A = this chain, B = another copy of it.
Amino acid sequence: MSETFVIAQGGGPTAVINQTLAGTVIEARRRYPGARVLGARHGVRGIRDGDFVDLSALSDEELKRIAATPSAALGSTRDKPDTAYCETILKGLRQAGATAFVYIGGNDTAGTQQILAEAATGDIAFVHAPKTIDNDLVENDHTPGFISAAEFVAGAFLSIDLDFRALPGIYVGIVMGRHAGFLTAASAAWRQDDESAPHLVYVPERAFSATRFVDDVRAVVSRHGRCVVAMSEGVATEDGRPLVESLVPADRLERDAHGNIQLSGGDLGMAVEQLLKDGLPGTRARVDTFGYLPRGNIATINPTDAREAFEAGVFAVEAAARGGGSVALQYGNGATLPRLVPLAEVAGKTRHMPDDFLMPEANQVSPQCMTYLKRLLPKRFDPAKSFV
C-alpha cells in the first residue's frame, strides 16, 4: 500500500515551524518514493473540513523557501479537540487515506495525538513533532522555536541595557509565557557583566509579591542608578492566580474558550507601571509588552534552531515508521538529537524551569540557568563598554 502523510501545524507559530514541515515532506518523499503528502489547513480544523494542500509536487527549492519563512505556512489553530471532534478528525484522516499523521505543536498538540492514537485501531501512525517558544515540553532539552525567540529576547535586553545606561530609569519588558519562564530568563543570556540587565527576573515559577517587587526595584535603582526588569506575562501571586487578576479590574479581564485569562501583556504592563508610579514616584519608568515580536521574527532566525527543527521533521518520518509517538530533542555528549518517546509522556504536561535555575533568595536566574542559556545561545555580539 502506498504511503499518505498528513501534516498539520498547531498552536502559536514560531520562526522555524516550517522547517519541521519541510523536513517531514522531504524525508517522506525520499523514503517512500511516490508517497502522497497532504497539508491540512489550520491544523486539525483542515482535516475536519477536508481542507488540504497537496505538498507532494513541491520542489525541494520551494520547500526550502517555505522552511526559511517564519510562522505556520499551513495556518494554525487553537482548537483542543474533545472526543467527538477527534472522531471527526479520524474520519477525515481515513477519507484522505492517511497512513501517518504528523502534527507539529506543543503539549496540547501532543494531547490531541494521544487521543487520536487511542481512538484509532493502529491503521494510522500518530506523530507529534515538537514546537514551542515557551520551551515547556517535558522530555525535551529544549524545543524548536525556543532558541530563535530567546535570541530576540536576549538581544533586546542587551540593547535596552545599553539604552538605559545612557538615559537612566526603570524599564520593564513583559515577555510571553503563561506557565514557564524560560523565554523570560533568556533575557539574561547575553549579560556583559554583573551590572548588566536584566537586574531582576520574574517568572511564573516563583510567587510574585507587589511589595517585594517595588522593594527589589528600589534597591537596584539605588545601587546601579537604573533598573531593567524582565517579567513573564504569566507571573502569579502566592495563591497561584495570575498577577494580572489581582491588579486589574475584573471587567477588563478577558477569558478564552478554556476559561484562561487572556495574558496579552498590556493590562499587566499598565498595572506594573502603576505599582512603580506609586512606589517610586518621580522615577522615570517605562513598560513595553514584547508580545508577538519575539515569536516568529524574521530578523532573528537562529541557524541551530532552524537545523534542529528540520531534523525533528525528518525524524518524524522515522517515528511514523516505528508506529508513532512524540519526537523529543534530547541532549547528551555535546549533541542535541531527536528521540522517540511515548505520546503519553509529553501530552498535556508542562515543563517548568528547574528549581535550581532560579536563585533561592533573589528574583534572578542562577549560574545553572546561565550555563544552560549559554549553551543554547552562544554570544552573538561583542558590544563595547559605555563610558557611563
User: Which residues of A line the B interface, CB within 8 A?
Assistant: 9, 12-13, 18, 39, 41-42, 53, 62, 65-66, 68-78, 151-152, 155-156, 158-160, 162-163, 165-167, 171, 254, 264-267, 269-270, 273, 277, 286-293, 295-300, 380-384, 386-388
Contact between chains at B160 and A292 (CB < 8 Å): yes
B13, B291, B298: the one contacting A381 at CB < 8 Å is B298
Contact between chains at A75 and B381 (CB < 8 Å): no
Q: A163-B13, A166-B71, A381-B298 are known contacts. Are A293 and B387 too (CB-CB below 8 A)?
A: no
C-alpha spacing A75/B385, complex, angstroms: 11
Q: A167-B12, A167-B78 are known contacts. Are A387 and B73 too (CB-CB below 8 A)?
A: yes
C-alpha spacing A281/B299, complex, angstroms: 33
CB distance from A240 to the nearest CB of B (A): 25
Nearest CB in chain B to that of A12: its residue: B167
Q: Offer 26 A-B interface pairs, CB within 8 angstroms, sorted by A.
A: A13-B167, A41-B388, A65-B383, A68-B383, A70-B159, A71-B159, A73-B386, A73-B388, A75-B165, A75-B166, A75-B167, A75-B386, A75-B387, A76-B166, A152-B299, A155-B298, A156-B299, A159-B299, A160-B292, A162-B296, A264-B286, A264-B287, A287-B289, A287-B291, A288-B293, A298-B383
C-alpha spacing A270/B248, complex, angstroms: 12
Contact between chains at B290 and A155 (CB < 8 Å): no
Sorted from nearest, which 3 A-B pairs have the closest CB atoms? A288-B291, A75-B388, A71-B162
CB distance from A331 to the nearest CB of B (A): 26
- Greatest chain B CB density within 10 A among A155, A254, A266, A298 is at A266
C-alpha spacing A264/B273, complex, angstroms: 10
Contact between chains at A269 and B296 (CB < 8 Å): no
Residues of B within 8 A of A68 (CB): 383-384
Contact between chains at B167 and A76 (CB < 8 Å): yes
Residues of B within 8 A of A62 (CB): 384
Residues of B within 8 A of A297 (CB): 155-156, 159
Contact between chains at A266 and B293 (CB < 8 Å): no
C-alpha spacing A163/B71, complex, angstroms: 5
Nearest CB in chain B to that of A64: its residue: B384
Residues of B within 8 A of A69 (CB): 162, 383-384, 386
Residues of B within 8 A of A42 (CB): 388
Residues of B within 8 A of A73 (CB): 166, 384, 386-388
C-alpha spacing A281/B273, complex, angstroms: 27
CB distance from A188 to the nearest CB of B (A): 15
